[in-house]
Structure 1
Amino acid sequence: MSKQIVPCHVDMSNTSEFLYAHVDLSGVQVGPGDQVLVHDPIVDINFGEVLSYDRTATVSKAGIVSRLWVYLTARLEVTMLYEVSFSTTRFSKAKKYPRPAPIQEASPIILREGVKA
């Protein structure tokens, strides 16, 4: 694994429209399995702030075996996203989750007027 120290530019935003943190490395292409460590990062950003600053970063390049391993396992991890749904019904019957019982409607009570003596 080879390491390089390169300058980088960090953009961060925590507003009602955007929530992101981007790192732009100068002159380095990052691939599967590579690791990037930003030196002295600002990690606490208050709501409504937008920050932009320059730092240095250490880029550790992955070897051919670890690059191939990450490439293959990443394809399998993407399939975990296929089951994500924000609807109330499940289309997959693979797992049975507890579902609420249907609500039974109660019959109304009819009171008769007056009492016979």
Structure 2
Amino acid sequence: MEINFLMDSDQVPTFPMFCKLCGAMLPTGKALEVVNCYNCGHNWTIPEIKQLSWTYNEKFIPTVENKTQVERLCPKCGAKKMTYTTWQTRSADEGMTVFFTCTQCGQRDIEYS
């Protein structure tokens, strides 16, 4: 998916903008005269920003190589190996949520521990 943003002369940018010098995300909101890049320190004036255009490319590339594999039966294809990732999706005093991905078919499974 590709998204192009061009601004009209009376708009103040509110979408994610990136510094053309260092690539860092610029702060958005109501800027009076300038937007300051927190990373490289460059000050972008609103007229400068309005003359720029941004193109965003979104690409999802699923990978399962180089991840820890465990013996777990895939509920979809019956494969015996799955990779896993853990996230703390609930409060800190509760267990981690484990997300499994089948190494053969990509089926996902969740375990609340």
State the TM-score, normalizing by the size of structure 1: 0.23
Bigger-Rg structure (1/2): 1
Q: Structure 2-normalised TM-score?
A: 0.23
More helix by percentage: 1
Q: Which has the higher contact order (CA 8 A, sep 6+)?
A: 1
